[in-house]
Amino acid sequence: MAALGLAEHPLGSRPPAFSHTVVTRNIVYEDLNGARRLFGGRLMEWIDEAAGICSRRHCGMQVTTASVDTLTFKRPAHLNDIVIIEADVTYVGRTSLEVRVESFVEDLPTGERALMNKAYLTEVCVDDAGRPTVVPWGLELTSEEERREWEDAKKRIVFRKTREGEGF
Ligand SMILES: CC(C)(COP(=O)(O)OP(=O)(O)OC[C@H]1O[C@@H](n2cnc3c(N)ncnc32)[C@H](O)[C@@H]1OP(=O)(O)O)[C@@H](O)C(=O)NCCC(=O)NCCS
């Protein structure tokens, strides 16, 4: 999939900072699994929620989640831990956009953050009938890191297409 020029996004472009999203949660009993750790399904819900808010902010319209990849649980979280979930748009295609979501556990009292999970989600802009529709805003890249993510996103798209071709 080729990167698209501004002309195909009728309203211009927005930087990732415009839609940067931070969701903060405190782990309560209902969030735990049988091993008294944060239930992975709950974290996935929070990740999906953060990506949905972030992509809706970028698009200014409704989105739906098409895919989630690289869900790797690097460390556990426990009762009363503070979890911070940060979402940023990394790539904008024709009707879809990629959102990176990083989840951290925050230590008290130091405030240091440990990465718990990093995921990339593909969100698709949809109209009232649920049909894919053009993302009105392109992505304005403002830093080297954002440009690198954009280039890496193109590789991830190829990888996803390959996996799709293999029946995943
Ligand atoms: C996502 C959905 C709208 C895509 O519809 P579709 O008819 O396959 O649309 P298209 O083939 O035209 O693809 C639209 C865009 O989505 C992307 N896309 C579609 N399926 C994808 C997938 N599995 N992974 C990543 N991107 C995907 C396409 O690459 C395309 O992007 P582009 O326009 O930027 O190039 C449709 O599959 C759907 O409604 N799925 C259910 C979504 C849902 O309910 N999510 C909630 C989770 S339960």
- Which residues are near ligand 1 (CB < 6 Å)? 1, 64-67, 93-96, 122, 124, 126, 130, 132, 160
How far, in Å, from the CA of 107 to the mean position of ligand 1?
37
Please give the structure tokens belonging to residue 159.
């990888």
Q: Whose CA is nearest to atom 20 of ligand 1?
A: 66
Q: For 25-51, what is each residue's pLDDT tens digit? A: 999 999 999 999 999 999 999 999 999
User: Looking at residue 140, what DSSP letter applies?
Assistant: -
Higher pLDDT, 92 or 4: 92
> What domains does the chain contain, in order, with CATH numbers?
6-165 (3.10.129.10)
Higher pLDDT, 100 or 2: 100
Provide the pLDDT for residue 71: 76
How far, in Å, from the CA of 31 to the mean position of ligand 1?
30
How far, in Å, from the CA of 36 to the mean position of ligand 1?
35
pLDDT at 15 over 50: yes
Contact 92, 9 (CB under 8 A): yes
Provide the pLDDT for residue 8: 86
How far, in Å, from the CA of 124 to the mean position of ligand 1?
6
Provide the pLDDT for residue 101: 97
Is beta strand 138-139 parallel, antiparallel or unpaired with respect to 13-14? Answer: parallel
Q: For 104-124, what is each residue's pLDDT tens digit? A: 999 999 999 999 999 999 999
Please give the structure tokens belonging to residue 74.
């690097």
Please report the DSSP string for 26-83 in residue order: E--GGGB-TTSBB-HHHHHHHHHHHHHHHHHHHHSS-EEEEEEE-----S--BTT-EE
Provide the pLDDT for residue 7: 56
How far are the Cα atoms of 117, 166, 168 from residue 163, in angstroms, in the given order?
22, 5, 6
Give Cβ neighbours of residue 164 (< 8 Å, ≥ 6 apart): none
How large is the average pLDDT for residues 10-24? 97
The C-alpha atoms of residue 60 and residue 160 are separated, in whole angstroms, by 26
Residue (of 166, 162, 157, 96) closest to 132 by Cα position: 96
pLDDT at 92 over 60: yes
- Nearest ligand 1 atom, CA 67: 24
Nearest-5° angle of CA 36, CA 119, CA 14? 135
Provide the pLDDT for residue 94: 96
How large is the average pLDDT for residues 119-137? 97
pLDDT at 2 over 70: no
